[in-house]
Structure 1
Amino acid sequence: MDLLTALHAPGPDRRDAVVVDGRAFSYEELLGAAGAVAARVAGAPAVAVHATPTARTVVAVVGALLAGVPVVPVPPDAGPAERGHILRDSGAALLLTGAGADHPAAGGEPEHLPVDPDERAGFRAVDASPDHPALILYTSGTTGAPKGVLIPRRAVAAGLDALAEAWAWNAEDTLVHGLPLFHVHGLVLGVLGALRTGSRLVHTGRPTPERYARAGGTVYFGVPTVWTRVVRDAAAARELGGARLLVSGSAPLPTPVFHELARLTGKPPVERYGMTETLITVSTRADGERRPGSVGLPVAGVATRLVGEDGSPVPYDGATVGELQVSGPTLFSGYLGRPEATAAATTADGWFRTGDMAVIGADGMHRIVGRASTDLIKSGGYRIGAGEVENALLDHPAVREAAVVGAPHPDLGQQIVAYVVTEGEVGERELIDFVAGHLSVHKRPRIVVFLPSLPRNAMGKPQKKLLPPV
C-alpha cells in the first residue's frame, strides 16, 4: 500500500519540496536518500529511529516505509530506562541514527545504522498490505511501562485523507511546523501528511515565533505552548495573517490564546482531537465554525459516542459529561504483545474506549473536558470536567497557566484544587470567586496553589501527576 503518494506523483518537482531545519530536498532527492535507507533495512521486522527534528529523521522514516518495515520513533530525550524498554519491546532489528552517532550506543541495543541524507540509491517501493504496521508508537506510560501502539498503513492513509478533506489540504499549500518527530502530530500529520497531500513542508527545527513568521506558510501546526508564545510576539503573529489555517492540537488551547490569535492574525484557529491509538478523529473544518474549546465534528469515516459510567448513552445536550468512544478506519490494530490491554481498551461491539471525558452539543460539536483518570472530578454528587474549570481560570487576566485536579475530601468526596501560574497581583479568594461567577458555584476551586510553572511534557501537556500534593 503506497502511503506517500505525492512522492511518486507525476508533475513538477520543487527543489525545496521538503525543508527540515534549513536542509532542502526535492522529491527526487528525498526518494534517492530514502531509497538508500530502504535498501539496507528491507526485510527487517521493525526499525527504530532516533527521532531528532532533522532531515536525517525524515529520510530514515521514509526509507523504512518504502521498504514496508514498521518504524519505531525513539524520543531523543528518552532516558535510559524508557529508551531501553522501547528498543527491547518493539523488537527493532536496527536503530537508525545520525552519521555522527548522535546518541551513544548502550549495551543490549540493536545494531546502529547511520543515515546519511546525501547518500542516494534507487529502490522499488514494497507493496505492503494495508493491515501491515506502518508505525509502532509508544504511549507516554502514565499507567505503567509505555505500550507499543500498532498503527496499520490503512489507518495512516484513512486519517490523512480525512484531514485533507476537512482542511481542504492539498498540493497548493505550504505546511509549516517545528514539532517533535516522534508523535502523531509532528510525524504522522506534519511529515507523512505533507508527503501524501503533496503540500510543501517546512520544518522550522525549533517552533519559535520568529521562525514561524519567516516561513511563509499557508497551514501551520502548533501545540498550545507554541501558540501562547506566538501571541506574545504580536509582530510575529501578524505575519501569520496570510496563512489559510492555524491548527492547534495535542492539548486543549486556552480560550484567551484562541481569541488573541484570532485577533492578531484574523484567523480563528482550528482545533482537533485524537490519540495515538486513534490518530485524529474529530476536528473543526476549514469551511466550518470554530469555537474556543470545541474540537468540532468527526472526520470522514469516523463515528463517536458518549457513554456514562454504567455504559448507557449520554445525551448530546452540550452539558452532560460522558466518556468518548470512537469507531472507524483510523484506529490502531492493538498494543504490541499485549492482548489483554487491547481487549480492555475495546468494547464488546468494537469501539475504542478513549478514556477522555467530553460533552457533545445538539449540533454535534465536541468539547473535551479531560481524562477520566485525572480530570473527571466527583464533588458533592456532581461530575465536573477539570478542563472547564481550567478554561474559566485562564479567562482571568492575571492567570497564565492553570491545571485543575480533584483531591480527597471527607465530605464532598473530592474537592477541586487549582494550580496556577500568574502575572500580577491576584489572590486565592479572587480566583475562587471569579470561577464561581463564570461557572456553576459547585465548580469553583476550594484551594488555589500558586506555582512558578507547571510541569509539562515535550508536547506541552501539563503533567498533573507531578504537581505537589495539597
Structure 2
Amino acid sequence: MNCVDLFVQQAKRKPNTVALWSPDGTRMTFEELLAMAGRTQRALRDAGVKPGSSVLVVELPGPRLYAIVLAVFAMGATVIAVEPWLPVGEVDRVIRFMRPTLFIGGALGMAWGARVPAVRAISRWKASSRVLSARGAPLSIEDTSPETPALVAFTSGTTGQPKGVVRPQGYLIHQHDIYTRSLGLTHHEGPDLCIFANFVLANLASGRPSLLVSPRWSFKQLRAIDDLPDELQPRTLSCGPAFLAQILRNARLDKLASVHVGGALSDVSLWENAFDKWPDTHFLHVYGSSEAEPVAVLDARKAVAVSRARGFHQVLCVGKPVDAIRSRLEPNSLWVTGPHVCRWYVGNDRENLVHKRVDEHGNVWHDMGDRIEVRDDLWWYAGRASQPAEDFSWEQSVYHELGHSRAFIHRTNPGSVYLVGEGLRQNAERIKQQYRGIDRLICCPIYRDRRHRARIDRRTTLRKGAPWLPG
C-alpha cells in the first residue's frame, strides 16, 4: 500500500473536480495534478531519486509543491519539508542526518538554502520551476511498508527548538482515516479553506478541493476568497486561532458550514465572535500537536460554554480523546500512543529519550508536554509541564482581570517573578494586592504571531525599557 493510492483513486473518480486553488488564481483539477505528478516523477528519477532516497523541498503552497510531494511519496522516497523562516540550527542537523539526494526550491527556497551549510553540501539542486519533465509519463506507485518514511516535517518550536518529526506512509493513511471519522472530513463536498499541509493532503485523499493560502497571507488574499464563484466558495475552514481572527475581520465566507480550529490556546471571545458571525455553522475544537493530531476533539460551542462557566478567559476544555488514541494521564504530563502518533524525532537522541517511551508491546508513547486534568469526564488543559502550575493559575486569573491574554509570567535566574503584559498600569494596584508572589510588573506590548503564540523578546524587555511598576 502507498498513501498516494488514495489520491489516485479520487483522480480517477473525479478527474474534472478542482483539487487545488492558489491565491494567484491558479486552478488545477485532480486529473491535471495527477499528470503533473507523473511528469515531476520522471524529472526526479533523472535527478537520481529512487525508493529510499530523501528530497529536501522548500516551496510555497501551490500545485507545484503538491505535485512534487505526491511524486516523491509514490516513489517510496521521503520529503523533507522546510519553511524558510524556521531557525537554521536544528534544520541543519536534520538535513545532515537525512542526507537528501536532491534539493528543490523556489526563489525564496534557493536564497534560504544558500545560507544553510547542510543544504550547500547537497550535490544536486533543482529549481522548482524546472522540476517538470517535458515528457509525459503516468505516475508510477511503489508498494511500501507502513513504516516507510514519507514526510519529515518540523514542529512549530513553541516549547524550544523545532524538531524534525517523521511521518511514515502508515501514519498518513491512518491520519486520513481518523480525520474522516473524528472531524467529519467528508461530510461536506465543497472546498476546504486550509492553511495546514496535512489537511491539504487529507483533502486530496478524499476528493475534496483545497483553497490554499500562503503562509505570508495578505488581507487582499482573504478578501479575494469572497469573490470566487459559488462552486469554489469554501464550505469548511481548517485553521488556527490567529487565522480565524483575520477571517472574522476580512472575509465573509457566506457558505461556511463547518470550522475546525486547533494549534494553540484561544480566547473565549474569539469563538463567541465567530458564533455570532456564522450562527448556523458547526465548530469543532481540536487538540493535538505536530507529533499527534488529532488527540482530542469537542464541539466548540460546548468547549466555550463550559470554559466560560468556570470563569476562564481562554478555552481550556479540550474535550475527549479520539477513538484511535490511547492515553496515560500522569501527574505532570499527558502521554499518548496510536497509529497517527509519530514514533521518533530525526537525529535527536536527547529529545527521543525525554519525550518517547516504548512499552512491552512495542508501542511508542509520546509525551505531549501538557498537564491535563479530568473534570466531568472531559479533558482540561492545565498548562505546560515545564511551567509551574502556580504560574499557569496566575496567568489565567490575570487574563480574567485584564480582559485579554496578552501577558505572561517570567521567572528570572535569581528567583524573581515578573508579570509582563499589556494594560498592567491601569490594574497595577489590584494585581499587586491579589498576587503577592509577583515581584514586579512590566508594562509592554505583546503581540501574537500567525501561529497565535505570545511573542516578545524577553531579554530586551527586561534590559531596555519597558516601564517597571514596583511589586
1:251 to 249, 264, 268: 264
CA distance in 2, matches of 1:332, 1:152: 8
CA distance in 2, matches of 1:104, 1:137: 17
In the alignment, which residue of structure 1 is the partner of 2:312?
none
1:30 has 2:33 as partner: yes
In the alignment, which residue of structure 2 is the partner of 1:462?
454
1:201 has 2:210 as partner: yes
Describe the shift of the 1:429–1:17 C-alpha distance in structure 2 as closer, same or farther (beyond 3 A): same
Q: Once the 2 structures are TM-superposed, how far is the Cα of residue 27 of structure 1 from its aligned partner?
A: 0.9
CA distance in 1, matches of 2:409, 2:253: 35
Contact 1:167 1:285 in 2 (8 A): no
Describe the shift of the 1:450–1:87 C-alpha distance in structure 2 as closer, same or farther (beyond 3 A): same
Residue aligned with 1:242, SS: coil
Question: Could you give the per-residue CA deviations for residues 314-366 of structure 1, whole angstroms, max 9, x where no partner exists?
Answer: xxxxxxxx411112111112122344532332346343222112222232x22
Structure-to-structure mapping, 1:343-422, within 5 angstroms: 343-347=353-357, 349=359, 350-363=364-377, 365-373=378-386, 376-377=387-388, 383-384=389-390, 386=392, 389-390=394-395, 392-395=397-400, 399=404, 401-407=405-411, 415=417, 417-422=418-423
- Equivalent residue letter for 1:343: L
Q: Once the 2 structures are TM-superposed, how far is the Cα of residue 114 of structure 1 from its aligned partner?
A: 2.6
Question: Could you give the per-residue CA deviations for residues 64-100 of structure 1, whole angstroms, max 9, x where no partner exists?
Answer: 1121211111112246555544432332111112389
Q: Once the 2 structures are TM-superposed, how far is the Cα of residue 156 of structure 1 from its aligned partner?
A: 1.9
Describe the shift of the 1:53–1:277 C-alpha distance in structure 2 as closer, same or farther (beyond 3 A): same
In the alignment, which residue of structure 1 is the partner of 2:298?
284
Q: Which residues of structure 1 form unaligned runs of 5+?
A: 180-185, 309-321, 378-382
Describe the shift of the 1:230–1:421 C-alpha distance in structure 2 as closer, same or farther (beyond 3 A): farther
Residue aligned with 1:96, SS: strand
Describe the shift of the 1:294–1:327 C-alpha distance in structure 2 as closer, same or farther (beyond 3 A): same
Q: Once the 2 structures are TM-superposed, how far is the Cα of residue 103 of structure 1 from its aligned partner?
A: 3.0
CA distance in 2, matches of 1:210, 1:392: 37
Q: Once the 2 structures are TM-superposed, how far is the Cα of residue 171 of structure 1 from its aligned partner?
A: 7.0
Q: Once the 2 structures are TM-superposed, how far is the Cα of residue 150 of structure 1 from its aligned partner?
A: 1.5
Contact 1:171 1:198 in 2 (8 A): no
CA distance in 1, matches of 2:112, 2:335: 42
In the alignment, which residue of structure 2 is the partner of 1:306?
329
Q: Once the 2 structures are TM-superposed, how far is the Cα of residue 140 of structure 1 from its aligned partner?
A: 4.7
In the alignment, which residue of structure 2 is the partner of 1:88?
96
CA distance in 1, matches of 2:70, 2:102: 15
Q: Which moved more, 1:445-454 or 1:163-172?
A: 445-454
Describe the shift of the 1:265–1:223 C-alpha distance in structure 2 as closer, same or farther (beyond 3 A): same
In the alignment, which residue of structure 2 is the partner of 1:61?
69
In the alignment, which residue of structure 1 is the partner of 2:334?
324
TM-score, normalization by structure 2: 0.78
What's the RMSD between the two structures over aligned residues? 3.4
CA distance in 1, matches of 2:244, 2:394: 21
Contact 1:96 1:113 in 2 (8 A): yes
1:230 has 2:272 as partner: no
CA distance in 1, matches of 2:402, 2:52: 55
Q: Which moved more, 1:103-112 or 1:223-232?
A: 103-112
In the alignment, which residue of structure 2 is the partner of 1:380?
none
TM-score, normalization by structure 1: 0.78
CA distance in 1, matches of 2:345, 2:227: 41
Residue aligned with 1:277, SS: coil
1:335 to 327, 338, 345: 345
Q: Which moved more, 1:202-211 or 1:327-336?
A: 202-211
Residue aligned with 2:295, SS: strand
In the alignment, which residue of structure 2 is the partner of 1:149?
165
Q: Once the 2 structures are TM-superposed, how far is the Cα of residue 430 of structure 1 from its aligned partner?
A: 4.9
In the alignment, which residue of structure 2 is the partner of 1:273?
287
Contact 1:323 1:355 in 2 (8 A): yes
Contact 1:159 1:330 in 2 (8 A): yes
Higher helix share: 2
Describe the shift of the 1:44–1:95 C-alpha distance in structure 2 as closer, same or farther (beyond 3 A): farther
- Equivalent residue letter for 2:353: A
In the alignment, which residue of structure 1 is the partner of 2:184?
168
In the alignment, which residue of structure 1 is the partner of 2:111?
103
CA distance in 1, matches of 2:373, 2:226: 35
1:296 has 2:306 as partner: no
Describe the shift of the 1:396–1:32 C-alpha distance in structure 2 as closer, same or farther (beyond 3 A): farther
Contact 2:240 2:452 in 1 (8 A): yes
In the alignment, which residue of structure 1 is the partner of 2:14?
12
Question: Could you give the per-residue CA deviations for residues 142-162 of structure 1, whole angstroms, max 9, x where no partner exists?
Answer: 777643222112122212211
Question: Could you give the per-residue CA deviations for residues 105-152 of structure 1, whole angstroms, max 9, x where no partner exists?
Answer: 533234212334875531221111111111112335677764322211
CA distance in 1, matches of 2:328, 2:284: 22
Question: Could you give the per-residue CA deviations for residues 41-64 of structure 1, whole angstroms, max 9, x where no partner exists?
Answer: 333521111032333222221221
Structure-to-structure mapping, 1:431-446, within 5 angstroms: none
CA distance in 1, matches of 2:209, 2:298: 22
In the alignment, which residue of structure 2 is the partner of 1:76?
84
Q: Which residues of structure 2 form unaligned runs of 5+?
A: 115-119, 305-314, 463-467
CA distance in 2, matches of 1:300, 1:330: 11
Contact 2:57 2:105 in 1 (8 A): yes
Instruction: Say how many residue pairs are matched.
Output: 423
Identity %: 20
